[in-house]
Amino acid sequence: MIVREPIYVALFALLQGIPGVVTASRKLKHWNDVPAEAQPAIFQAQRSEVHQVVTGAPNKALLTLDLYVYVRTTGDDSPSTKLNNVLDGIFTALAPSPINGRTNLGIAGVEWVKIEGTIETDEGTLGDQAVAIVPVHILCS
């Protein structure tokens, strides 16, 4: 049986430790509701689950969530520079172990955690607000 909450808590704990992140929450807010002084910000939002049941084998579940990253700058500062730094921090936090090549959050039943799919970005080209949506998949058994 998959117990979801410890998985999401462990992932969130990693995200809170990313250097430069001012705000981290599991309750998604729109970037207009996050003041400039509260950014860079990361929001963890659960999206979907796909379950596979195979007779004679452990059930598996693929948990999918999105990380919303907000970065706001002022003046001539490029929002994409700060956004890239936070994205690099996310990839570092979720980097696979050099021992087994997987990220498992230290939780029994979590086989791996991966950033997988298209990262949607708006780098603030026409303004001071940059946004990225990072898809994360967690395979559990």
Q: What are phi and psi of 33, to 5 degrees?
A: -95, 5
DSSP-based helix, strand, coil % in the chain, nearest 5? 25, 35, 40
How many structural domains is the chain composed of? 1
Angle between helices 4-16 and 79-93 (to 10 degrees): 130
Q: Which domain holds residue 107?
A: 4-140
Q: How far apart are CA 105 and CA 53, in angstroms?
A: 23
Residue 117's alpha-carbon distances to 6, 94, 126, in angstroms, are: 24, 15, 25
Which CATH number do you get for residue 106? 3.30.70.1700
- Global pTM value: 0.92
- For the chain, 141 residues long, give each residue's pLDDT as a single digit of tens: 788 999 999 999 999 999 999 999 999 999 999 999 999 999 999 999 999 987 888 889 999 999 999 999 887 888 888 999 999 999 999 999 888 888 889 898 899 999 999 999 987 776 889 999 999 999 998
